[in-house]
Chains A and B, each alone.
Chain A
Amino acid sequence: MAEPMKIRATLQGDVADVRILMLHPMETGARKDSKGDLVPRHFIQNVAVTHNGKPVLDAQWSQGVSRNPFLGLRVKGAKAGDKISVTWIDNKGEKRTDEVTVAAAS
């Protein structure tokens, strides 16, 4: 079962600075386990970010993105209380969606 993401969205002017941390092994398919067997590829292929339901970023990833991937982006025209939703899907069809509200600048 996919672990929840950690998402933080902070307002800076009218731009929301969004930082996402996903929990995923991101296996390259080249790593060997302790028995010397290759660990099959297992990685996030697609990440979609929406702002109040409107798509703002669509990413496609390879196995070359680091374990427990980080993604940072800046969403224009955001206000405090806006909803930022993030969905990822991996190559085994597992997926996870999490949502946060944009926090006002501290």
Chain B
Amino acid sequence: MIDPSRRIILKCAGAFGALAMGLVTGLVKSSNAVAAQWNKAGFESKAMADALKALGAGNPVESKDIAITAPDIAENGAVVPIAIVSKIPNTQQILIIAEKNPRPLMATFDVSSGSEGYVSTRIKMGETSNVWAVVKADGNFFAAKKEVKITVGGCG
């Protein structure tokens, strides 16, 4: 014969489990809403081509209208200043990619009509590598690259 108290415990556990699940999914949903969008596939990609694919930026065309300001040689890979100016009309998005970093996609910037096609920030780089600036304008993707030599890597 089954011990009735054991049944009760099981039922409670079941109810509690369902409640916990509900709480967890609720939390996940609300945090998704707060963290507006974060392109997990792109940011977790381990190769530049995969990251570009995840962003829908298959094969960007090289363009001379994108200027990357970055040091030729960065002594400290933990702080590499990068500035990008896009002169392409209707620039919608600017991406920064450090080609040889463990996860190459560094940042994406959605630029509205209220701001110029300019962003500047600082990134970490593990080793000497090309830094790519990819610009989305009118739904098309353009790219430019600049090599940055790293003396001491800054990923650790």
Chain A residue numbers with a CB within 8 Å of B102 are 30
Whether B119 lies near A57 (C-beta < 8 A) is yes
Main secondary structure of the interface of A (DSSP, over half): strand
- A106 contacts the other chain (CB 8 A): no
Chain B residue numbers with a CB within 8 Å of A49 are 115
Q: How far is the CB of A74 from chain B (nearest CB, A)?
A: 4
Chain B residue numbers with a CB within 8 Å of A67 are 78-79
Whether A46 lies near B35 (C-beta < 8 A) is yes
Chain A residue numbers with a CB within 8 Å of B48 are none
If A58-B36, A59-B108 touch, whether A69 touches B156 (CB-CB below 8 Å) is no
Which one, B81, B101, B110, B123, contacts A58 given CB within 8 A?
B110
Q: How far is the CB of A13 from chain B (nearest CB, A)?
A: 11
Which A-chain residue is minimally distant from B109 (CB atoms)? A59
Chain B residue numbers with a CB within 8 Å of A77 are 114
A-facing residues in B122-156 (Cβ within 8 Å):
122-125, 154-156
If A31-B156, A72-B119 touch, whether A61 touches B107 (CB-CB below 8 Å) is yes
Which one, B79, B110, B113, contacts A59 given CB within 8 A?
B110
Q: How far is the CB of A95 from chain B (nearest CB, A)?
A: 7
If A74-B116, A89-B34 touch, whether A62 touches B43 (CB-CB below 8 Å) is yes
- B49 contacts the other chain (CB 8 A): no
Chain B residues within CB distance 8 Å of chain A: 31, 34-39, 43, 78-81, 83, 98, 101-103, 105-116, 118-125, 154-156
Q: Report, nearest first, the 6 A-B pairs whose CB atoms are least far apart.
A: A72-B120, A56-B114, A66-B122, A58-B110, A56-B115, A74-B116
List 18 contacting pairs A-B, 8 Å CB cutoff, sorted by A.
A28-B155, A45-B38, A49-B115, A56-B111, A57-B119, A58-B36, A60-B37, A64-B125, A66-B154, A67-B78, A71-B119, A72-B118, A73-B115, A73-B119, A75-B115, A89-B34, A93-B31, A93-B35
